[in-house]
Every structure is written in C-alpha cells, then in structure tokens.
Amino acid sequence: MEIIILILAGILFAAAIYNLLQKQLLRIIIGTGLLSHGAHLFILTMGQLKRGQPPILTEGKSDYADPLPQALILTSIVISFGVTSLLLVLAYRAANENNTDDMAQLRGDENE
C-alpha cells in the first residue's frame, strides 16, 4: 500500500509543479495547495502505515501507529494553511493593483 500512496504523492507533486509553472496566480496557489498535500502524505508514509491502534493510550493495547509523523504533519498543516491564506489575499491584492493576474506580465522594472 505504501507504494501506491507514494505514487499518489508523486502524482500530486507532478500536478502541483505543473500548476506552479502556469501563468495565472490562482493556478499557482492551487499548485502550492497540492504540493503541501503531497508532502503530508509523504511524511505519513515515512512512518508506517496502518500498524496498530490510533495513538491514543488505551488499557491493554500496546501496538500504536507512529505518533511522531502525525505531530509533524499537524504542525505542517497549520503552517501551510497560514501561508496559503496569505498567498490568496496577496494574489487578490496583486491582481487588483496591477490589473492582471498573468505572471508573464508581472515583472519588475528593467533596471530594478
């Protein structure tokens, strides 16, 4: 199953990168969203999938899923949420101020 999840992560990465390389701001944000999903799945798989109980201590059970990757992913989810929402507002402002959301047109001055 790990192989399949990793392939899924790879496809998420591929789709994310393809979106990142597009011209429109919205697509780029969608790309970052996909990229973080891929990364989370990646971290999860680096632990072990589907071994034992959820990591909540219960009487008489000793076999638990790896809690550390879960803690890491939780942190990462929150951070990527913060960044995504910032990006979203930034894109909104950038598109409004410059009257374009085309990356090919959003460039600095020649000698800046």
Partner 1 sequence: MIFTVIIPLILACFVPLLSKIKEKIHTGIFVFFIPFIIFLYFIQFIGSDFSPIAKTYKWIPSLGINLNFYLDGLSLLFVLLISGIGALVVLYSIYYLDKTERLGHFYVYLLMFMAAMLGVVLSDNVFVLYTFWELTSISSFLLIGYWHFNERSRYGALKSMLITIFGGLSMFGGFVLLSVVTGTTSIQSMIEQKDVILNSTYLPLILGFILLGAFTKSAQFPFHIWLPDAMEAPTPVSAYLHSATMVKAGLFLVARFSPIFSSYEWFFIIVSLAGIVTLCWGSYMAVRQTDLKAILAFSTISQLGMIMAMLGFGTKVAVFAAVFHILNHATFKGSLFMVAGIVDHETGTRDIRKLGGLVTFMPITATLALFGTFSMAGIPLPFLNGFYSKELFFESSLDLEGATTFASVLAQVIPYLAVFGSIFTFVYSIYLLFGTFAGKKHLDLLPKKPHEAPIGMLLSPFILVLGVVLIGLFPNLVNGTFLAHAAEAIKGAEIDQHIAFWHGFNTPLKMTLIVVGLGFLLVLTRKKWAGAYRVLPGKLSLNKLYDYILEKLDIVSQKVTQSYMTGSLRLYVAIILGVTLVVTFIVMLVTDGFNIQFDNLADVTIIEVSVVAIMIVAALATILAKNNVSAILILGVVGYGVAILFVLYRAPDLALTQLVIETVTVVLFLLCFRHMPKLRKRNETSGTKIVNIVISVGFGALMTLIGISAHSSKWFESISNYFIETSLKLGGGHNIVNVILVDMRGFDTLFEITVLGIAALAIFSLIKLKRGAK
> What residues numbered 24-63 form the site for partner 1, per CB under 8 A?
24-27, 30, 33-34, 37-38, 40-42, 44-58
Asked if 111 touches partner 1 (CB under 8 A), the answer is no
DSSP 8-state class, residue 69: H
Smallest gap from residue 75 Cβ to partner 1 (A)? 5
Question: Considering CB under 8 A, how many residues would be counted as binding partner 1?
Answer: 87
Smallest gap from residue 60 Cβ to partner 1 (A)? 13
Which amino acid would we find at residue 39? A
Asked if 89 touches partner 1 (CB under 8 A), the answer is yes
Task: Please name which of 4, 37, 32 lies closest in space to residue 18, comparing C-alpha atoms.
Answer: 32
Question: What CA dihedral angle connects 18, 27, 93 and 104, to 10 degrees?
Answer: 50
